[in-house]
Structure 1
Amino acid sequence: MSTVVTTDPILTRPARRTAMRTRLQNALPQIVLAPSFLLTIIFVYGFIIWTGYLSFTNSKTFPSYGLTGARAYQRLWNWTFESDPPSSWYTSITNMGIFGVLYVGICLALGLLLAILLDQKIRGEGVLRPIFLYPMALSFIVTGVAWKWFLDPGLGLEQTLHQLGWTSFHFDWIKNKDFVIYTVVIAGVWQASGFVMAMFLAGLRGIDSEIMKAAQIDGASAVQLYRRIIIPLLRPIFLSAFIVLAHMAIKSYDLVVALTSGGPGGSAWLPSNFMYEYTFKRNEMAVGSASAIIMLMTISAIIVPYLYSELKEKAR
C-alpha cells in the first residue's frame, strides 16, 4: 500500500513569502541601477557611436547621414580652407603636447614634494592640507577667470608691481601668442597639484613604518630611503595620478576659454577647443566629430591599458 503525502498550503505560505522577499532583495541592486545604466548606454555610448558615424559623413551645420568615407579626417589633417589658419589643428595638438607634458609632470613632481614635506609631521599640517587642496574644489571656469585677472598686464601682477615702483617688470605671457599656453599650464598646476599631494600623502601614510625603520637601521640615508624604497612603493599612486591628470588635460576646454579666450588667433587652442569651434561656430560638424573621435582614442589609449592592468591584478 502506498502512502500519499500532502503539503498544507498554509504551512508553505510563509516560506513562499520568504523566498520572494529574498529574490527581491537580491534583484534590488539591478532594479535600482537599471535606469541609470540604460541612460548611460543611450546618452554616453550611443552618442559616441553617433559622433563616430558623423565623422564619416559630410555633415555641415546639420547632420548628414550619407557616408563619405574618411574625408573629414583627411580635411582635419590636411586643412585646405583658405579662410582658416592652415595650422589650427596642428597648433591644437602641439599645445596639447606642451600642456600635457608640463601639466602632468609638474603636478606629479610638486604634489610628491608637498606630500613628502607634510609627511614630516610639521606644525600646522592640519591647516596646510586644506589650503593646498582647496583649489581642486574650484571649477576650471573660476580658476581661469581668477588667473586671467592676476596675469592681465593692465590689471594684475604686472600693474601691481609697477605701482610699487618696479616699473621694469613685464609679464605679458597671456597676451603673447608664443607663451600663452604656458599661462594655462600655470593655472592648471595651481589647481591640481594639491589634489595630487593628497593622493601621495595618503600613499605615504599607508607605507609600513617597519620597512623604513629596517632601512634606517641598515644605514640608509634619507635620500636613499625615498629613492630606493618609498618612491618605488608609491608606483600605484603615480599611475592613478597620471591617469587622472592626463584625462583632465585632454578635456581642459573651459580652463582655456576662461583664461585666454583661446589666445591671440587661437594660439592657446587645445583639441577640445578646436572641436567646439569647428562643430558649433564654423559649421563643420563632420570635422568636429572627427577631432572628437581622435580625442576619444587618445583617452582610450591611456585608460584602457590601466584598466587592463587593474583587472589583471585583481584576477590573480
Structure 2
Amino acid sequence: MQSSLRSSLSRIVVAPTFLLVLVFVYGFILWTAYVSFTGSKMLPSYEWVGIDSYVRLWQFERWHVAITNLFIFGSLFIVICLALGCLLAVMLDQKIRVEGTLRTIYLYPMALSFIVTGTAWKWLLNPGTGLQAFVRDLGFPEFTFDWLINEQFAVYTLVIAAVWQSSGFVMALFLAALRGVDQEIIKAAYLDGASLPRIYWGIVIPSIRPVFLSAIVILAHLAVKSFDLVVALTGGGPGFASDLPANFMYEMAFRRNQINIGAASAVMMLCTVMAIIVPYLYSELRGAKRG
C-alpha cells in the first residue's frame, strides 16, 4: 500500500513537467512542421500548400550559403576541438603539478555564453582596434588579419571563437575517460618497451572510442544550433557571407515575415540533428543489449 502510494505520488509530481515538455517542446515541433507545409507569411495560415515552402527554400542563394557555412564551420569545429581537447587531456594526464590550475583555465571559457565569447572575439579580431592594429603598432605595418570583414574568411572567425570556448569541455571529457583506463595495461606496455606516444596511440586512445563518439555528437549539435555566436561576432556578415541555418531561419521568420520558409528551414535543421543523434542512440542501445 505504501509503495503504491509513493509510486502514485512520484507520478503526480512529475506529471506537470512531463505535460509542459510534451506541449511546449514536442507540440511546437509538430506545429512548426505543419506550418512549413502552409502558406504562412506574417501570421500563421493553416491552409495546406504541400512542399512549396521547401522548394522555395532551396531556391534561396542565402540558404545555400548558410548550408555551405555550416559544413565548413561544423567540420573544422569538430575536428579541431577533438584534436585540441585530446592533446590537452593527454598532457594533463601526465599528472603535472599545476594540473588543477590549467584544467580550470581551459574549462573557464565554457562557463561563458556564446554572446560574451562572440563579443570578446569581435574586439580581438577587429582590424582597426584588435590583433591587426596591435601587431602593426609593434612595428609590422604590412601585417593584415582582416578575416572579420572579409567575406571569404568571415566564417573561419566563427571557428576560432567556437573552438576557444568548447575545446576545454572536450578536454574534460577525454581526461575523465583517460583516468578510467586500466593502469596495469599501461604498465605492462612500459615493461615491453613501448614509448609513451605509442602507448597512447595504440592502447589508450582506442580504448576511449565511445568518448569520441559522444564528443562528436555534442559538438555537432552545438554547430547546427549555433546562432548567438554569429549574431555577436559577425552579424552574419559581411552581407550574409557568414550566415548559418539558424540565422537564416530567424531572418525569414521574424524579419521578412515568411513564417513558412522559416519553419521549413527549422525542420531541415531538425532533420540534420536527428541524422546525428539517431545513429548515436542506436549504437548506444545496441551496445547496452550486447552488454
Shift of 1:223: 2.4
* Alignment match of 1:38 (pick from 5, 19, 26): 19
Residues 70-89 of structure 1 show CA distances to partners (whole Å, capped at 9, x for unaligned) of 0000001123xxxxxxx101
* Alignment match of 2:232 (pick from 258, 261, 271): 258
Percent identical across equivalent pairs?
Answer: 60
Residues 182-229 of structure 1 show CA distances to partners (whole Å, capped at 9, x for unaligned) of 000000000000000000000000101001111222222222211211
Distance 1:315 1:41 in 2: 28
Report the residue type matching 2:29 in the other structure: I
* Alignment match of 2:96 (pick from 122, 125, 132): 122
2:10 is aligned with 1:29: yes
Residues 152-200 of structure 1 show CA distances to partners (whole Å, capped at 9, x for unaligned) of 0111111122222222211100000000000000000000000000000
Q: Which residue is equivalent to 1:84?
A: none
Distance 2:195 2:99 in 1: 24
Report the residue type matching 1:100 in the other structure: G
Q: Which residue is equivalent to 1:146?
A: 120
Q: How many residues align?
A: 290
Distance 1:111 1:96 in 2: 21
Q: Which residue is equivalent to 1:177?
A: 151
Distance 1:109 1:28 in 2: 48
TM-score (norm 1): 0.90
SS at structure 1 position matched to 2:94: coil
Give matches, 1:69-80, under 5 Å.
Answer: 69-79=50-60
Distance 2:282 2:9 in 1: 29
2:259 is aligned with 1:275: no
TM-score (norm 2): 0.97
2:39 is aligned with 1:58: yes
Distance 1:33 1:236 in 2: 31
Give matches, 1:194-205, under 5 Å.
Answer: 194-205=168-179
Distance 1:198 1:129 in 2: 8
Shift of 1:44: 0.5
Residues 102-138 of structure 1 show CA distances to partners (whole Å, capped at 9, x for unaligned) of 0000000000000001111112111000000000000
2:162 is aligned with 1:188: yes
Q: Which residue is equivalent to 2:207?
A: 233
Stretch deviating more after TM superposition (105-114 or 161-170): 161-170
Q: Which residue is equivalent to 1:95?
A: 69
Report the residue type matching 1:62 in the other structure: L
Distance 2:95 2:206 in 1: 22
Shift of 1:95: 0.1
Distance 1:119 1:135 in 2: 21
Bigger CA radius of gyration: 1
Give matches, 1:202-217, under 5 Å.
Answer: 202-217=176-191
Report the residue type matching 2:35 in the other structure: L
Q: Which residue is equivalent to 2:106?
A: 132
SS at structure 2 position matched to 1:266: coil
Report the residue type matching 1:118 in the other structure: L
Report the residue type matching 1:269 in the other structure: D
Distance 1:160 1:56 in 2: 52
Report the residue type matching 2:36 in the other structure: S
- Structure 1: give runs of 5+ residues left out of the alignment: 1-18, 80-86
Q: Which residue is equivalent to 1:289?
A: 263
Shift of 1:40: 0.5
Residues 227-259 of structure 1 show CA distances to partners (whole Å, capped at 9, x for unaligned) of 211111110110111111000000110000100
Shift of 1:291: 0.5
